[in-house]
């Protein structure tokens, strides 16, 4: 039984082939990079894995279960969490509340117990609050815990989004362009941050990124997509020298 496996995943939007016949496997603790030029279908892959899109063809298995076409919140409860390319925080909620949302799916009290503040709900709420506080301290956002999420600086918002995903207790984390729009120093910090949470939580991570230095420095295994087609897979060094990949990114050499 493999930890995470995608078989022949295909997504067509009408006549457009967004993703074609993608297969990948991941073991527990793997760090895989999904790269490719704009419009290659990388985010579409994440959307299919997390249940936002129903793949046209193909299967997704997670911890031995077929999760293809399952609803998003059930997939999340099963242990897959994600972040978004264009940050999607709950802007009007506080930083702490954003993280507490991550625990709500595992709340066992009913809404009756919540309205009348019965003992079980009270203790669960207290636990939620303290766990969220601890998580924020770990990612160094505890000093802004009571600020509205929408008011945070860009880098902090990215971090908060990851923290919120971690709160749902995932085994597999999907990061969609975690360093988009960051300067080299921030990118370096984020690299360390991702490495540290990976070790601390024993997570498998799949990430989408354009920043080559970031991807080459972090990932152990790469998959390159171009127009939905997998054009190369392998170690970062292999990918770097793959003529097809260079062509996809830089265009055909002149006179070829």
Residues forming contacts to other proteins in the complex (CB under 8 A) are 50-52, 71-73, 76-77, 81-82, 84, 88-93, 97, 100-107, 109, 111, 114-117, 121, 124-125, 128, 164-165, 167-168
Shortest CB 83 distance to other proteins, Å: 9
- CB of 19 or CB of 149, closer to other proteins: 149
- Sheet order of strands, 80-82 included: 65-66, 57-62, 4-13, 16-26, 229-234, 221-226, 31-35, 204-208, 172-176, 80-82
Residue 103 Cβ vs other proteins, minimum distance, rounded to whole Å: 8
Q: Which is nearer to other proteins, 27 or 65 (CB)?
A: 65
Question: In whole angstroms, how close is the CB of 55 to other proteins at the nearest point?
Answer: 17
Instruction: Write down the least CB distance from residue 117 to other proteins, Å.
Output: 7
If phi > 0 it is left, if psi is from -120 to 50 it is alpha, else beta; for residue 30 that is beta
What is d(CA 150, CA 194) in angstroms, rounded to the nearest whole number? 22
Comparing CB distances to other proteins, the nearer of 50 and 68 is: 50
In whole angstroms, the minimum distance from the beta carbon of 13 to other proteins comes to 17
Using the minimum distance from each CB to other proteins, give the nearer residue, 114 or 180.
114
Q: Which is nearer to other proteins, 100 or 215 (CB)?
A: 100
The answer to whether 178 touches 147, Cβ cutoff 8 Å, is no
- Tell me the DSSP string of 40-90: SSHHHHHHHHTTSS--SEEEEEETTEE-TT--HHHHHHHTEEE--SS----
Our CB check for other proteins shows the closer of 8 and 88 to be 88
Cβ–Cβ < 8 Å for 98, 126: no
Minimum CB–partner distance for residue 107 and other proteins (Å): 5
Please choose, from the candidates 25, 22, 32, 27, the residue with its C-alpha nearest in 3D space to the C-alpha of residue 5.
25
């Amino acid at each position: 039984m493999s930890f995470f496996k995608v078989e022949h995943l295909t997504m067509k939007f009408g006549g457009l082939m967004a993703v074609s016949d993608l297969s990948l496997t991941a073991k527990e603790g793997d760090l895989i990079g999904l790269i490719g030029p704009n419009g290659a279908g990388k985010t579409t892959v994440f959307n299919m894995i997390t249940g936002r899109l129903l793949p046209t063809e193909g299967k997704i298995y997670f911890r031995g279960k077929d999760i293809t076409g399952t609803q998003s919140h059930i997939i999340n409860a099963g242990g897959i969490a994600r972040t978004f390319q264009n940050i999607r925080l709950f802007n009007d909620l506080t930083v702490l509340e954003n993280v507490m949302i991550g625990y709500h799916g595992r709340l066992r009290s009913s809404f009756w117990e919540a309205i009348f503040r019965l003992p079980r709900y009270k203790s669960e709420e207290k636990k939620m609050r303290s766990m969220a506080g601890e998580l924020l301290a770990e990612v160094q956002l505890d000093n802004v815990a009571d600020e509205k999420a929408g008011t945070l600086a860009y880098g902090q918002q990215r971090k908060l989004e990851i923290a919120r995903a971690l709160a749902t207790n995932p085994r597999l984390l999907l990061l969609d362009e975690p360093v988009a729009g960051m300067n080299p120093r921030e990118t370096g910090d984020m690299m360390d941050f991702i490495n540290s949470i990976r070790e601390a939580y024993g997570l498998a991570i799949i990430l989408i990124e354009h920043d080559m230095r970031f991807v080459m420095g972090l990932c152990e295994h790469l998959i390159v997509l171009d127009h939905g087609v997998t054009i190369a897979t392998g170690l970062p060094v292999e990918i770097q020298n793959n003529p097809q990949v260079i062509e996809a990114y830089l265009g055909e050499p002149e006179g070829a």
